[in-house]
Structure formats: C-alpha cells, structure tokens
Amino acid sequence: MEKFKESNKKMRSLIADFPQNISAALEIANDHPLSTKYPSFNNVVICGMGGSGIGGKLVASWIENEIEIPISFCQNYTLPNFVDNKTLIIASSNSGNTEETLSAITEAHQKGASIIAVCSGGKMETFCKKWNYECILVPGDNPPRTTLAFSLVQLIHIFTELKLISTKKIAEFKIASELLIANNEEIHAQAKDLAAFIDNKELIIYSEAKDETIAIRARQQFNENSKILCNHHTIPEMNHNEMVGWYGGSNRYAVLFLDTEDWHAQNKKRLAFSMERIATKTDSIQKLKSKGETQLIRSLYLINIIDWASLYAAEKNDVDSIYIGVINNLKASLQN
C-alpha cells in the first residue's frame, strides 16, 4: 500500500485544490474579457480530448436550455462538414499540444471559422498568436483531469462574453466552491464509502440523460486514477436496451446511480423500476446524491465526490493515480 504513496499524495493535493481552482479560474476570466468583435454564429463546435474535452460537454449540458444555437463536439482530427465562417470553434487543450485538437483548429482556420482557445501555452498558443485568434491562458504542468475547473469557467466565460447566455451562470461557480468547502468532511466520507463499495467489482454507472457528462467524467476518473474499467449508460435510454442485458447480470457488478434529485417525473419511475430489477441480479447497488440549487452546482458536487473516490480506490488497490504511461507510449508511437 506504500508503493505509490508520494504520487497519490500529489493527486490528493490536486483534488483538494478543486474549490480554490474555481476561484482562481474566475479571476482569470475576470481579467480576460474578449476583445475581438465577433459575427453572429449559427453554431458552436467545442474541440477537446480527454480531461480537456469533458469540460465542453459539461458546459453544454448546463446551458442547453438557454443557448439558442446548437453546440457540437469534435473529439477527432477532422471537423464536421457544416463548419464554415458562421461557426464558432472553441478549442480546449490544457497542454496546448493535443494533436487531434490542433488538427481540428487548423481545418477550422482554413474554413474561415472564428476560433477561441483555452490552453496553458504550447503549439495552440503559437497558432493563435500567428493568426490573431483569442487565447485564454490557464495553468499547466498538471494532469488535465485535475485542471477541470479552469476549462469549465473559461468556457462559460466565453459564452457569457459573446452574450450567448446570461451572466447568471458564471456566478454559480462561486456558490459551488463555497458548498464544496463547507461540505468537505461529508464529501470525503461519501467518497470513501464509494471506493469501498466498488471493491474490485466491475463498475457500471447510470445517470439521467441530462447528467450523462457527469457519468462520463466519473468513468474517466476511475479509468485514469483508479486504473479500472467501468461502463456507463443513461435513463431512459438504458430502459430500451441494457435493461434486457441485465438478464445476464450477477454479483460481479457494482452499480452506481447518480441522483441529482431533479429528474423528470417519468424518469423517477424508471429509476425506481430499474433499481428494483437490477437488485434481483446484484446486491451491490448504491445511489450517490448531490447537493446544490442548480444543475451546475449539483454537477460539481458529484464530480468532487467521484474525484476523491477514484483516489481512494487507487490507494486501496495500491496503484499510481497519476501514472498514464500507456498514453505517453501511444503518443510516442504516433511520431514514428
């Protein structure tokens, strides 16, 4: 259990910084108003991978009922064909060197799209300077999955500055930060319970459809920090396919339901039915409840619990929560 103590100690510090990172990110946003005069847009495409990319999906889920133009995502080397000079491209890469995202913004430049970048420097900053695109710089040098607060705040800041959403949303971050600090002990207790609950089982995470990005973030954290595989699905969609698959379910699965307590009335019925039926196949079922008055705040609350749980699971299994050697090996092989 002591083998990766120092590495996990660093991860502990990085996760603990999450509420303070929100405050620091708000200061960066306040100091960087957008200076370019932009045209009206027909659509937005957010480009980003992994820990940098998940921020865009979270933000889109929070503003989808307010923004009046569609948001799409590019997690590949090439952009959708519809991208043109009426498209806003938001590129998010903590390192500034993510090759898929760099490829996408190069294509966006060729198509005449507007580009705004969020990064810590690297080739992306150089690209933006060369072509006079706005680039908001955020802290680097740490794993992108630990710098989520910076991308989230800057993305909301961009949408606010462009008057695509109201100013109310960005104010919720301060409330979220204060809530996380005030509930620190409870959050750690829930995280430890969750790590013990997994107990070397195959983890399946379910959420309501509007909260799928929280489930994706959870899956990513258990993948990278805990070094375990897990799956996720959403209600109501899983009721149309995966529910039948539970005929083959067993106690080897641990099932986690993410409950934001603001589910659609029909989905609440689906949740109760799903839990009842799954309980006939496995007794490892847990519901993780959030706190907060808005979707943004509830999302950050659950994310913080899961981040801690992924570290506690890493410590329990004696694995290095920071190590991502296989990803680094992949990147090196792509250069050959």
The tens digit of pLDDT for each residue in 248-282 reads 999 999 999 999 989 999 999 999 999 999 999 99
The tens digit of pLDDT for each residue in 55-97 reads 999 999 999 999 999 999 999 999 999 999 999 999 999 999 9
In the block, residue with structure tokens 């899961």: 306
Which residue, 142, 138, 165, 181, is CA-closest to 300?
181
Three-state DSSP class for residue 14: helix
Query: pLDDT: is 171 or 5 the higher one?
Result: 171
Three-state DSSP class for residue 162: coil
The mean predicted confidence, pLDDT, of the chain is 96
The single residue of 172, 208, 224, 315 carrying the catalytic annotation is 224
DSSP character at residue 38: P
**Would residue 233 show up in a list of annotated catalytic residues for this protein?**
no
Contact in structure between 254 and 282 (CB atoms under 8 Å) = yes
Contact in structure between 57 and 73 (CB atoms under 8 Å) = yes
As a CATH number, domain 5-176 is 3.40.50.10490
pLDDT band, residue 1 (cuts 50/70/90)? low
Distance CA 254, CA 243 (A): 15
The third-level CATH classification (topology) of the domain covering 183-316 is: Rossmann fold (3.40.50)
pLDDT number for residue 231:
97
Query: Percent of the chain having pLDDT more than 90?
Result: 92
Position 159 pLDDT exceeds 70: yes
pLDDT band, residue 4 (cuts 50/70/90)? confident
Residue 290: both structure tokens together: 């959030």
pLDDT number for residue 45:
98
Which residue, 227, 243, 244, is CA-closest to 235?
243
In the block, residue with structure tokens 């090759």: 99
pLDDT band, residue 328 (cuts 50/70/90)? confident
The tens digit of pLDDT for each residue in 295-326 reads 999 999 999 999 999 999 999 999 999 998 88
pLDDT band, residue 104 (cuts 50/70/90)? very high
**Would residue 331 show up in a list of annotated catalytic residues for this protein?**
yes
The single residue of 37, 130, 163, 240 carrying the catalytic annotation is 240
Contact in structure between 254 and 199 (CB atoms under 8 Å) = yes
Contact in structure between 169 and 63 (CB atoms under 8 Å) = yes
pLDDT band, residue 2 (cuts 50/70/90)? low
Domain with CATH 3.40.50.10490 in the chain: 5-176, 183-316
The single residue of 5, 174, 269, 331 carrying the catalytic annotation is 331
Distance CA 272, CA 295 (A): 21
**Would residue 130 show up in a list of annotated catalytic residues for this protein?**
no
pLDDT number for residue 165:
97
The tens digit of pLDDT for each residue in 181-228 reads 999 999 999 999 999 999 989 999 999 999 999 999 999 999 999 999
pLDDT number for residue 214:
98
pLDDT number for residue 225:
97
Claim: this prediction has a pTM higher than 0.85: yes
